[in-house]
Amino acid sequence: MNATAENIEVSPETLSQVANQLRIHSIAATTASGSGHPTSCASAADLVAALFFGHMRYDPKTPRYYNNDRFILSKGHAAPLLYAAWAETGLFPTSELLKLREWGHDLEGHPTPRLPFVDVASGSLGQGLSVGVGMALSARQDKLDFRTYVLLGDGECAEGSVWEAALLGGHYKLNNLVALVDVNRLGQSQATSVGHNVEVYAKRFEAFGWRTEIIDGHDMEEILEVLAAAGLGDQPLAIIAKTYKGHGIETISDKDAWHGKALSKDEAQVAIAALQPKARGGEGIEIPKPHQLPEPNVVGPASYPAINYNMGDKIATREAYGAALVRVGEADPRIVAMDGDTKNSTFAEKFAKKFPERFTECFIAEQNMVGVAVGFSALRKVPFASTFAAFFTRAHDQIRMAGISLANLNLVGSHVGVSIGEDGASQMALEDLGMMRAIPDSVVLYPSDAVSTEKLVELMIGHKGICYLRTSRPKTPVIYKNDEQFPIGGAKVLKQADGDKVTIVTAGVTLFEALKAADALAKDGIGVTVIDAYSIKPLAKDLIKAAAQKTNNVILTVEDHYPEGGIGDTVAGELSADGIKVHKMAVLELPRSGKPEELLGKFGIDFEAIIKKVKTLAS
């Protein structure tokens, strides 16, 4: 007998029977659907049965209780196994499992947080451990004693993001984090590179500072014994479980070419009949309850401290971001920050110095950093993750999955465009607006001065979804009063007069080029309307349209970005159907090193280029 917490005894034999019931559910559900991954479920069924019915502390009636042990299915294609486990806890009827993958039903092909027991979406492999690191760090900050368990497939351990997460988990000695690697040997199209050489996985985790245990993933006594040692010492635990894909389904166990294939009705009937005598459900098994500890604060303050800038002072928006983070952080303990070893450039170091216990240095591992931030978000923290905007491109899949996870995630990218100057093309973010706009329901913000930066940071805190703030390296003058408001989806008309010939829509450093051009054009008798489109998505469509209608339906967009996906594409996409002509000025070729003002001119987005273009349009 294995004694779990609270002296509740569940035998290994009983749990093996539960595992077989989970296999039966997985087979039945995927066969009913005609698609899915029953063999991937079968290999991990013993591990999941042990966790859910013999080890983890949680309240099955309240899956998101703040001190529940957390379970992340990184190998998201084994979703039917996860659904079966929760159904067997009594959360919902097992008959619902047969609606797997049906339109309008939340038991999707891969898990999403539409389900109350799923914290984050999975299915794009290699990301679950990063989220687990974030959750484990959050638990430590909140002084909660729940553990985070992440079930990975061996195939996804080829992803570099897994080892980025392993590095950080080992670095921070997260002994409240457990990774279980289901080493079933077979990938989607062939055997994995390592196969059943479980020692290789153990050595890799050990190299990153993890304690490791190699077990037979189908021996329930071994599984329970190693789980009982979770949390001991000061290292995270990696359980390397040798398993067989399709275990328990005799005709296809450990056979290639069965990944992602449902059994036929006849095959399923035979497999279920063989498992049925050795199976039982989860009824009657008492699950240990989580400890009752103080609940973390999840409610923000009524307001944040006021800002105090002087008009005309020159401050880079990246520096204003750092100041804003400290200001709001003082009033809001939910706020946490992380950075990819660029905090002295993004100015996240201001927050790190003020609140070291709420700052996580993620080092140069941007994919993992975004995953860590998603983990914090899943536990109702308000994460701000920052790095050079160019380096977020490396983490696009993690950002995409954060959107599917319905995460409340704030990303801050600095050092954008050619205006960074001498560092050269590799450091210049010129694609980021398009990338971030492509995320469903995302918000993309591009402030031009310190006041707008500070106000937008405040709004990001309360916004649900993915928010991206684009900050600049050059110092720019403060042009707004401290009490100015910047609603998401808004814009500011900075210059406008009757008889204007062109409406210029811009943001960031090129706003100041546009203002300079407007002053010069006025001396030549050519008036232009200048709009600060600080909210790229959602765009202030009606405001911009109204301005354009006063300038013969002519708009000129100017941006320190490639033309694809930036301000010009955004404005054209919103207004071209209304008969408004949108002319775009953007960086049109591969840039190179030079002084910021020199590069703005060389690539045709400085005030002189704007003057020339406006005169052409006006004529």
Q: Which residues are catalytic?
A: 366
Q: Is the dihedral of CA 369, 374, 380, 382 positive or negative?
A: positive
Q: What are the counts of helices (DSSP H) followed by strands (DSSP E) for the chain?
A: 21, 21
Q: How far separated are the first and last CA of the chain, in Å rounded?
A: 89
Report d(CA 338, CA 377) in Å as an integer.
12
Position 143: which residue type?
K
Report d(CA 533, CA 491) in Å as an integer.
5
Residue with tokens 């829509």: 505
Backbone angles phi, psi at 614, to 5 degrees: -60, -40
Burial-class residue 59 by CB neighbours within 10 Å (0-12, 13-18, 19+). middle
Q: Which of 81, 37, 102, 110 is nearest to 401 (CA)?
A: 110
Residue with tokens 């040692």: 229
Is the distance from CB of 611 to CB of 521 less than 8 angstroms?
A: yes
Report d(CA 614, CA 51) in Å as an integer.
67
Q: What does the buried/exposed string (b/e) look like for 577-589 if buried means 16 or more CB atoms within 10 Å of the residue's CB? A: eeebebbbbbbee
Question: DSSP label at 429?
Answer: B
Report d(CA 176, CA 126) in Å as an integer.
20
Report d(CA 265, CA 319) in Å as an integer.
63
Report d(CA 557, CA 502) in Å as an integer.
10
Backbone angles phi, psi at 598, to 5 degrees: -65, -40
Is the distance from CB of 372 to CB of 137 less than 8 angstroms?
A: yes
Q: Which of 524, 521, 515, 513 is nearest to 495 (CA)?
A: 515
Report d(CA 403, CA 464) in Å as an integer.
11
Residue with tokens 């983890």: 56
Is the distance from CB of 118 to CB of 92 less than 8 angstroms?
A: no
Work out the angle between the directed axes of helices 366-378 and 128-142 (0-180°, nearest 10): 50
Report d(CA 477, CA 342) in Å as an integer.
24
- Neighbour order of strands in the sheet with 70-73: 70-73, 148-153, 177-183, 237-242, 211-216
Report d(CA 528, CA 503) in Å as an integer.
6
